[in-house]
Amino acid sequence: MNAENDAALGRIMEQVREYGLEHHLLELESQGFTTLKQVLKPETVERAKSVIVETIERRQSCSVDLETGEGFAGVNYIPYLLYEDEIFEEILMTPAPLTLMTYLLGESCLLSSIGCHFKGPGGHPLALHSDNGNGMPGPFPAYSQVANLNYALTPYSKEAGALAMVPGSHKLARQPTVSEMQLAGERVNKHAVPMELEPGDCVIWHGNTWHGSYRREVPGVRMNLAVYFCRQYLQTQEQHKGIVPESVLVRQANSDRFQTLVGAKQPYGWQADGPDYNVMARNPKGLYD
């Protein structure tokens, strides 16, 4: 450790205490995930759902029936939602979940992607996996390099196609084998547990943790907001640096943290003008920054 990193950890722990998150740190360390209840207000949930439906109907030139889920069997991923409405900026900056994400990934972490897994009845389960699967070789380090934050916008249950987690799997530091990743059939992983959530709840997990989702067995649609983060030195799934709409920059002009999340202080990706050494000098010095 060094003085700068110790100071960053001190700032994070101050926020942990402010929001009463101490036992959530224990859960992240012991089981690899933790649940926060009623983080989003009902009006925030409803606004997010409404915008997601509008976005699907505009992008896919279709109509959405949330009661039946007709036409949307299985998981349908709706990406790049941050700039669709101010509500997603608000959700991104929700203090308690962002504090836990900062504990996992440091103060310089980036928003990798923000989208909705829009799940209708039928289709197939999403097999158990670690989010380190995007080209990251094993064995995985013990510390988190990526991490996920999943907000429930509709009720979660096993029959409704809930998220599934495998407690303690983050400590295995590898991807599940074919026989370990099943969520249906004779070889179903019996260690997987469904996340029983109400709208406004969220689950946060370490990037090593095995997770997936069950097939939806009832009519209607399961909606979430998946907010995926990564450490400052990793490639993000979505592009944000340099292309944030001007209206968003004006709205977030006084939010240093928002600008960090969308890559304004990320030093890499230069062109002929070369690196900005002032930005390079602010590179993280440790796990927390």
Reported as a single tens digit per residue, the pLDDT across 39-85 is: 999 999 999 999 999 999 999 999 999 999 988 988 999 999 999 99
Cα dihedral 93, 240, 236, 45 in deg (nearest 10): 40
Of 281 and 199, the one with more pLDDT: 199
Structure confidence at residue 271 (pLDDT): 86
* Paired strand residues for 202: 36, 151
Structure confidence at residue 279 (pLDDT): 86
Examine the pLDDT at 33 and tell me if it is beyond 60.
yes
Please say whether the beta carbons of 179 and 135 come within 8 A. no
Question: CA-to-CA distance for 271 and 245, rounded, in angstroms?
Answer: 21
| pLDDT band at 254; cut points 50, 70, 90 | very high
Residue 279 falls within a domain, yes or no? no
Please say whether the beta carbons of 162 and 196 come within 8 A. yes
User: For a pLDDT cut of 70, what percent of the chain falls above it?
Assistant: 99
Q: Which of 19-28, 38-47, 169-178, 268-277 has the lowest mean pLDDT?
A: 268-277
Residue 80 falls within a domain, yes or no? yes
Residue 284 falls within a domain, yes or no? no
Residue 54 falls within a domain, yes or no? yes
Distances (CA, A) of 230 to 82, 111, 148, 169, 227: 16, 7, 9, 19, 10
Question: CA-to-CA distance for 247 and 252, rounded, in angstroms?
Answer: 9
* Structural domain that includes position 240: 3-266
Structure confidence at residue 1 (pLDDT): 57
Residue 289 falls within a domain, yes or no? no
Question: CA-to-CA distance for 128 and 185, rounded, in angstroms?
Answer: 14
pLDDT (average), residues 234-256:
94
How does the average pLDDT of the chain come out, rounded? 95
Reported as a single tens digit per residue, the pLDDT across 92-107 is: 999 999 999 999 999 9
Amino acid at 107: E
Reported as a single tens digit per residue, the pLDDT across 121-159 is: 999 999 999 999 767 888 999 999 999 999 999 999 999
Please say whether the beta carbons of 129 and 176 come within 8 A. yes
Burial of 90 (0-12, 13-18, 19+ CB in 10 A): middle
What are the φ/ψ torsions at residue 280 (nearest 5 degrees)? -60, -35
Distances (CA, A) of 219 to 11, 52, 175, 186: 46, 19, 32, 25
Structure confidence at residue 188 (pLDDT): 93
Burial of 219 (0-12, 13-18, 19+ CB in 10 A): middle
Got the DSSP string for 53-115? HHHHHHHHT----TTT-TT-BEEEEE---TTT-HHHHHHHT-HHHHHHHHHHH-TT-EEEEEE
Reported as a single tens digit per residue, the pLDDT across 183-223 is: 998 889 999 999 999 999 999 999 999 999 999 999 999 99
Structure confidence at residue 273 (pLDDT): 86
Say which CATH number the domain at 156 has: 2.60.120.620
Residue 278 falls within a domain, yes or no? no
Instruction: Supply 247's token pair.
Output: 């209206």
Counted domains in the chain: 1
Residue 140 falls within a domain, yes or no? yes
pLDDT (average), residues 173-189:
93
Cα 258–Cα 260–Cα 265 angle in degrees, nearest 5: 145
pLDDT (average), residues 250-266:
94
Residue 285 falls within a domain, yes or no? no
